Structure 1
């Protein structure tokens, strides 16, 4: 998500970033390393984000697990704390800028979703929010997230009022969760090949059953698939960005409850990675109200072709006449009936209110 320009002298990088990079390069599962250090996953996450200090005992454990000396880790911790102290001078929740920033964030929803703890004290609340975004001050936040629309490609819906801070919070949560997924290096050819196997997952009715397999298949091609509920003010239903030059992220908001909408959103974002990916300059998508950009049209066409290939299109008018016709077409195409219904509705072959009972409704935990 971040470009090189986002990193500046107003940035303090915790030693946890080095730990994360080493874990990723060595394909070491985060939860396994946490257990070996006698830490819970949450405690290990606090270490990675800099929320918890890297102590001498932790440095000794890291030396045994990752190889760098304990002295190296302690120096990294000392440097980070010094940088952080310099950068947080003047950070005051009573100033107008910080008051406005906190007010713009969907704090209640961030607490309800478990993204932050929900401190009551103003200073603690401000510190908690800055730590969530991984920045030391508002200037660094503006450098990193202020241009949210220039940092990712969004599928948006007209029904939601947009808030850049809410969208930034959603993206940040996706970034944090993606960091926990171990992926192979980005391989666009393999990713496109994996999509035929992903397509088979449309037949599974339970997200708890197909989401782990979806994530596994995509991770093999260097793509971390993350599902994050969107807070109020975040219009995005999907986004794609590169966490690193070798790791892509496909982020979905699980805004939709029906199988046709969910899978179209997934394959739309997959289309951007296949057709338009660029690890440095990321795609800007327009909202759905108004003319769509050529890239949006291409991603839509890609998704439609993946879900119901053009070879089946001549059969669609006949299938639209009955649920039995829909069932036959879905069986032959190897997708769910809901996907066929969604495509028929999109093409105007059936009314929007018809055959919706054939769609699978997902429940997202």
Structure 2
């Protein structure tokens, strides 16, 4: 270990910084004399600067973000300095400290002084104290891949659950604004209110926004695109065996995300609508029931919200379509969804008595016979109607 002394002057400070840079270039292993000397020098430099320069030097994370903004960089541009995309996110969110290896690359790469980067970051209180962290279904979230890059055991996840959950919730803009305490003001919720786990719902919403964030659409949504005629055109894609996939392509071409994500325990969701950070509508379906007719009605119901209700005031529409006593908004969406699939003026549902009649009406409307059969079962409140016919599945399409 080189000779170390207290830093008392500008010359001492410059010499200490030069020695610090030399030690960082060595990239010494932990528990070596060189690494101990580096730690001690960094401590002495920081103490000297606290007294000699009362105007605080920038927080290292804020300095990195400032340089990113200056140079027009995005997170993936920092991967060469940090080692992986997940490490970039963790450092910028304050859940991972800068390593010496990172500092050695960042200093010349972004032109940030090493003495700025070696400072301890300001501790921002991103861990909200009014969150019941134990209420999240972390085991199910882990199974579904909600925690990107985490390959540890459930025991390890529980040990670091607050850190991992905080990182997950802040992975999308305004992720914390979806927390249950704010739900009443940020969503229109159609629910039976039967033991809904609001924290599982929160996690599902963030997951939807994550997936939308990762999906590049070929167009921006033009307000007013979704209307009754547009929805009828979409419904006719159901005639194809590949109808669900064609529906996704159709929505994407018009600047609408279609995200498929199974519901989490005790959320009882069929679908939802929200607006992504880029301003495009997002339709999310859980496929809670693996039935083709349910897929098409749920899709049309959520699109009806876009046509009728999405006006910038409501952030989310969250729907349990089994819920009884739907309010006026939900009744309007139900009515438009039904009309888009089977127009009232062109149908003869009461006359449909058997399988052949279902096929004929479906052919006339140019829609899937599963939709016709599903409507009849619903209206007659008899799910045994038509036996095993017209019970196509939908999850396999996605």
In 2, Cα distance between equivalents of 1:278 and 1:245? 16
Matched residue, 1:66: none
Comparing 166-175 and 237-246, the one that deviates more: 237-246
Instruction: Tell me the secondary structure at the aligned position of residue 235 of structure 2.
Output: helix
Contact 2:175-2:206 within 8 A present in 1 as well: no
Rounded to whole Å, the distance in 1 between the matches of 2:222 and 2:296 is 22
Within 5 Å, which residues of 2 pair with 1:237-252?
237-244=270-277, 246-252=279-285
Deviation (angstroms), 1:58: 9.5
Query: Which residue in the other structure is 1:131 paired with?
Result: 167
What are the Cα deviations for residues 248-301 of structure 1, in whole angstroms up to 9, with x where unaligned? 111111212111111111110000001111224336668654422111011001
**Residue 125 of structure 2 aligns with which residue?**
87
Equivalent residues of 1:241, 1:249 under 8 A apart: yes
Superposition deviation, residue 113 in structure 1: 1.0
Task: Tell me: CA distance 1:286–1:225, structure 2 relative to 1, closer, same or farther (3 Å).
Answer: closer
Counterpart of 1:310 in structure 2 is: 344
Q: Which residue of 1 aligns with 2:211?
A: 177
Over residues 157-178 of structure 1, what are the superposed CA-to-partner deviations in whole Å (9 max), with x where a residue is unaligned? 68x6311101001111001001
Match of 2:258 in 1: 225
CA contact 2:248–2:258 (8 Å) conserved in 1: yes
Query: 2:136 corresponds to which residue?
Result: 105
- In the alignment, structure 2 segments of 5+ residues that lack a partner are 1-61
**1:161 alignment partner in structure 2:** 195
> Counterparts of 1:197 and 1:45 in 2: how far apart (Å)?
42
- Other-structure match for 2:371: 339
Contact 1:286/1:293 (<8 A) preserved? no
The number of aligned residues is 309
For residues 56-67 of structure 1, what are the structure 2 equivalents within 5 Å?
none
Tell me which residue corresponds to 2:301: 268
The CA distance in 2 between the partners of 1:131 and 1:318, in whole Å, is 56
Asked if residue 195 in structure 1 is aligned to residue 231 in structure 2, the reply is yes
* Corresponding position of 1:357: 389
Q: Report what 2:45 is aligned to.
A: none
CA distance in 2, matches of 1:59, 1:308: 61
Distance change (3 Å), C-alpha of 1:284 and 1:268: closer
What are the Cα deviations for residues 202-259 of structure 1, in whole angstroms up to 9, with x where unaligned?
Answer: 23446xx733x43332233332111111110212211111123722111111212111
CA RMSD of aligned residues (A): 4.3
Deviations 1:305-338 (A, max 9, x none): 111112322x21222x110000110111111111
TM-score (norm 2): 0.64
Query: Which SS does the other structure have where 2:384 is aligned?
Result: coil
Rg larger in structure: 2
Whether contact under 8 Å (1:157, 1:236) holds in the other structure is no
C-alpha spacing 1:332/1:23, structure 2 compared with 1 (3 Å): farther
- What does residue 300 of structure 1 align with? 334
Give the 5 Å matches for 1:47-86. 47=88, 50=92, 71=110, 82=121, 85-86=123-124
Q: Which has the higher contact order (CA 8 A, sep 6+)?
A: 1
- Does the 8 Å CA contact 2:213/2:277 hold for their aligned counterparts? no
Work out the CA distance in 1 between the residues paired with 2:354 and 2:138.
48
Cα deviations by residue, 1:179-219 (Å, 9 ceiling, x for unpaired):
1122332213333465344323323446xx733x4333223
Query: Is 351-360 or 196-205 further displaced after alignment?
Result: 196-205
Alpha-carbon contact 1:228-1:252 (below 8 Å) kept: yes
Q: CA deviation at 1:57?
A: 10
Quote the residue 2:268 is aligned against. 235
Q: Which runs of 5+ in 1 are unaligned?
A: 1-11, 25-29, 61-69
Give the equivalent residue in structure 2 for 1:65: none
